[in-house]
Each structure stands twice: as structure tokens, then as C-alpha cells.
Amino acid sequence: MKTCKDINDKLSSYLDNEISPQEKHAMEEHIKTCSQCAQTLADLQKVKAMTSKLSEVEPPPWFKQKIMARVREEAQKKSFAEKWFYPLRIKVPVQIFATIFIVVAAVYIYRVGNEQFKEVMPPVATVPMVEEQKESLAANQDMPAAVAVRPAKKITKTDKSCEGSSCEISELKVYDSTGDRLSVGKGKLEPKVAASPVLENDVDAEGVAPRIKSRSMQTSMEKAVISVQSKQENNLIIIKASEVQSIAAQVEKILAEYNASKVSKHSTDGKVVFRAEISKEKLKDFIEKLKTIGLIEDKVSADISAAEQVPVVIEIQKN
């Protein structure tokens, strides 16, 4: 026989008819004899009836529309996210192709760029040639300046971008400067002149008529000419005197006294010019000696080449 507690536990299921027929029969037998359990069952039946009769609430107006608006908003967010975060089956192949494309493009650009770079390389390529020319010039230090400078003449000839008149002017300057006096600065002249054989080679290879290639080349050549002129004047000694001839006689004596070699004398328009070569050691004393006979302006370079005999030009001008 079941107790009231057991029956009370099953009353809820009894109400819903969720118990076995045997249990149902046993419960009904108990309820017939137990007024307390019968009262509980009656109350539960009333409670169930009350809850089942509770009115339903109605959705507010536009409830569906509001929900759908939020759902659409969510769908748009979703599609935006999908744009940026594609599934891996799409994203991975895209990334692989993009990487391959970048690599191929980079290699292509490098190769094309390298060829173009080589085309603008001549200055670098000339470096060993310059060295070579330096060596050859150093070997020919004792040769006449005209010989050493001759390649400069070729510069002007082979200069591709040289335009007519300016090219000729450059050339004239070089020829003017290739007189005897060029030997004065031949040592310093080497690097400037050295660049020329490269261009000469170019011309030989191409067989093109001489033209100046670029403005920069033209200016560098002009610098070479200026350099030659300045070296010429480095060992120029000017003596200003009222009686040119008597001073010239004294200078001749001093030159003889200092064992000057290759002495030559030119007289023009009341101006006497001596060209000679003097021993390097005696040069300073020689100049001091000259100062005793008149006002002297000397442009003797402090940086005289390593040669034993220094060429000197003495110009005697009328006061």
C-alpha cells in the first residue's frame, strides 16, 4: 500500500494521464479512502484549469517588421564579414596566386632594371681605363706635353653631343694649350686627359662621327683646358722694369749663372720672354736673385712635379 506522500508525488502525472494503468488503479483506490489526497487532487485540477485558461498576449503592432529589420541588418553585417573573411577554400588559392604574381613581377622588374642600369654604367667601366692611362702617362713624363695631351684633342673630336661651334672652340683651346709650355703641368693633367681614350674606343667601335655625348662631358673637357692654362702660368715670373733690354741682359746672366738649360728668348712689343728649365733645388734661389733686379710677380707653383728640371717662363714687361 502506498503512502499519501507517494500518491501526492504521482498526482501531477495522474492529472496528465502519464502513469501506467496499474498505478492509476492503485491511486484511485487510495483517493477513495483518503480525503486529504482527494482534496489535493481537486486543488491541483483547479490550478491546472486556471493556468490553462490564462489569456495569451498579442504581439505589438509591427512586431514582425521590427524583427525582420533586425534580421536584415544582421544579414548585411554577415555579408560584409564574408567579403573580408572568405572561407579558406577561396582565400588560400587567392593568396597563393597573389604571391606567385608578386614574385614573377619582382623578378621581371629586376631583370629589366638591371639591363637599363648597365646602359648607364660607363663612368664605372672607365675607372680601370683611367688607371691604365695614368700609368702610360707616368711612363711618358719626359715626353713633350703635346704628345701626352694629344688624347685631349681626341676628346673633342669624339665627343658625340658636341654641337658644332662649341666643339670647335674646345678643340682650339686644346691646341693652343698644347704648345711647349704644356709640359709645365703635364703631371697634374693626367686624370683629366685620361678619360679621353675611353671615348676614343667608343668611337672606334661605333664608327660614328665625333659628337659630344653629353653636357657633363663637355664641361669636364673645358675644365681640363683651364687646368692646363693655370699650370702654364704657375711658373711664370713677370719682371716689370723701365729698361727692358738691360734687365733682359741681367736675367740672361742669372740664367747662365744658375745653369739653366733649354734657354730661349723672344722679344715682342717691348716685352722679352725667356723660357728655360732650371734645377728644382736652385729654383728658389733663382727667384730670389731675380727679385734683386726688379719688381717681380711670380706664379711659381709650390707643388712642383717630381722632375729635376723645372720649366720656367720669365716675362720682362715695360713699366
* Least Å from the CB of residue 97 to another protein: 27
* Least Å from the CB of residue 79 to another protein: 9
| Cα atoms in the 13 Å half-sphere on the side-chain side of 174 | 28
- Map the footprint of another protein across residues 54-113, applying CB under 8 A: 54-60, 63-64, 66-68, 70-72, 74-75, 78
- Map the footprint of another protein across residues 23-42, applying CB under 8 A: 40
Task: Calculate the alpha carbon distances from 73 to 25, 60, 65, 70, 78 in Å.
Answer: 58, 21, 12, 5, 9
Among 1, 16, 124, 242, binds another protein (CB under 8 A): 16
Q: Does 4 bind another protein (CB under 8 A)?
A: no
Q: Does 9 bind another protein (CB under 8 A)?
A: yes
Q: Does 13 bind another protein (CB under 8 A)?
A: yes
- Map the footprint of another protein across residues 113-132, applying CB under 8 A: none
Q: Does 259 bind another protein (CB under 8 A)?
A: no
* Least Å from the CB of residue 31 to another protein: 16
Among 47, 138, 226, 295, binds another protein (CB under 8 A): 47
Task: Calculate the alpha carbon distances from 241 to 148, 251, 306 in Å.
Answer: 36, 12, 33
Task: To the nearest 10°, report the CA torsion of 200, 203, 208, 212.
Answer: -50
| Cα atoms in the 13 Å half-sphere on the side-chain side of 103 | 6
* Amino acid in position 90: I
On whether the CB atoms of residues 196 and 154 are closer than 8 A, the answer is yes
On whether the CB atoms of residues 145 and 182 are closer than 8 A, the answer is yes
Nearest residue (CB) to another protein, 26 versus 129 = 26
Among 50, 81, 90, 306, binds another protein (CB under 8 A): 50
Strand partners, 276: 312
CA 137 – CA 131 distance, rounded (Å): 10
Nearest residue (CB) to another protein, 52 versus 268 = 52
Nearest residue (CB) to another protein, 27 versus 247 = 27
Q: Does 51 bind another protein (CB under 8 A)?
A: yes
Cell of 275: 723660357
Q: Specify the stretch interacting with another protein by CB under 8 A; choose among 52-60, 118-126, 141-149, 240-248.
A: 52-60
**Pairing between β-strand 309-318 and β-strand 236-241 as defined by DSSP bridges:** parallel
Nearest 5°: the CA angle 100, 101, 106 is 100
Residues near another protein (CB under 8 A) are 8-13, 15-16, 18, 40, 43-44, 46-48, 50-60, 63-64, 66-68, 70-72, 74-75, 78
